[in-house]
Structure 1
C-alpha cells in the first residue's frame, strides 16, 4: 500500500501552475475545499475530477465546509455524472452550531452510503476500495489533527502561516500573517490536558465504531458499557433504536449509533471529565 502525500486547495486557489508545482514535489493526493459560499454541483465536481485526472493524482477528495441545500439530489446527480468519483468526502462545517449538530452528517450519511461510500467516524466518507477503508477493516486506522490515515501517523507538523502542529500532547498554531510568522517563537506551545483513557475511548469509536471493553476494564477499571447505558438514558435517544451491540467484550455501534456518534463522543468527554479513575501502568 503506497503512502499518500496530500495537498489541499480552496476552489478560488486553483491554478494549473500551482497544481503542477505540488505534483512535481511528490504530492500524489489532492483535496478540493468547498467553502460555505461555494456551491457543490455537478459542474464543480466535474472540474475537480478533470484536474485530479489530468495531473495524475492517485487520490482525489473533496471537503465540504457547509451542507448542500439538497444533499441527496445534488450528490446523486453530481457523482453519477462525473467520470472519476472522489475517493473521499469530508464534512467539516465551519459553523460551530452545525459542527455540534449531527443533522448534517446524518443527511450526508444516507446520501453517500446509498452511493456506495463507507463512513469513517462522524465526518469522513470513503470509497470501499480506498486504503482508509481497508485500514478500518483491519483495525489499522489512525486519526490525528489532520484526519484519518493508514500510515501509523499520530503526530502532525504544521509548516507555514496559519498551520497547526500536534506532537504527542503538545499543541501549537502558527500566526496567520506572514510578517508575524517570520519572527514567531516556535518554542511556544500548550499542553493538552485530556486524559489518555478519554482519547483512547473516543479514538476507538471514531476510527472503528467499536470499543474494546476488556481493555478499558483491565487498564482503567472502567465499565464503558455501563457508562454508555447511563449516558444514553440521560440523553433521551429513541428507545426503539439500539445504539450498540456487544459480542465477546467488543462493543460495536449500530447504524443508529453511528448517526449519533457526535452526541455520544461529546457526552463521553463530559462524563469522563467529571469522573476519577484509577490507572494501572
Structure 2
C-alpha cells in the first residue's frame, strides 16, 4: 500500500493540476487523500478523470471552501465506512486477512473551532476495531517549531492537540528527509538572451586564475558557472509575480459565490495562467 496525502489548496487551476499529475505519475500511489480541493464531484471528474484511480469519494459543501477527494485503485481491498466534509474513514484488508483502519482527516483551521477536530477524532475512534492510522492535516501543531512564521502557536492549542492524540492512543510518525542544496544547472532558456554569449566569454577570459593546465580549466569552469548562475537567476523563473497574483485571484474566486461574471473571469484567468505555465516549463 502506497499513500499520498496532500493539502493542495485548490485543484481547479492548471498549476496545481500539473503538480498533481506529476506527483501521481512519479510516486504511483494506491491511495490518495487530497484536501482543500474546492471542487465538487462534477468539477473533480471534469478535470481529473484521467487519474489512474477506479474509485473515489468526493466531498464538497455547496458555496463553501474546503473539499476532500479520497481515491484508491482496484488493486487494494478497501471499504468506505463513513465520511463527512472533514474526514473519510475506510478499512483496508490485506490478502492475509490483516485489517487496517485508515482515516483521511482535515481539521478545522479556525482556532475557535479546533475543539470540533478533537471531538471528531474521539468519535471516529468508536468505529475502530484494530490498528488504525490517520493521514491528512489536523491544522494544528505538536511543537512550536513546526510553525513557519514569526508568531508561535498558542500553548493551549498545542496542549489540546497533544491531549487529543493521547486520548486516541495515536503517535506522531514524524518526518524523515533532507533538504536539497542548490547546485549549478545550465538553463537552455539563457541562450535566448542576446548577452549570454558575451557574459560567458568575459567570465572565461578573466586572468585571475593562479593554476595551470587542467586545474586552471577546472577553476575557469567553476568561476564561469558561478557567474552564469548569478546572471541567469533573474531569467530562470519568468513571470513568477504574475503567476502568484493570478493564483491569489483564482483562490478568491473559488471562495466567492458563483455568477456568470465570476465564471467568465475564472476562465479568462485560467487561460492566462496556462499560458504563463507553458512559458514557465520552457524555463
- TM-score, normalised with respect to structure 2: 0.32
- TM-score, normalised with respect to structure 1: 0.32
Which structure has the higher relative contact order (CA within 8 Å, separation 6+)?
2
Instruction: Give the structure with higher Rg (CA).
Output: 2
Q: Which has the higher helix share?
A: 2
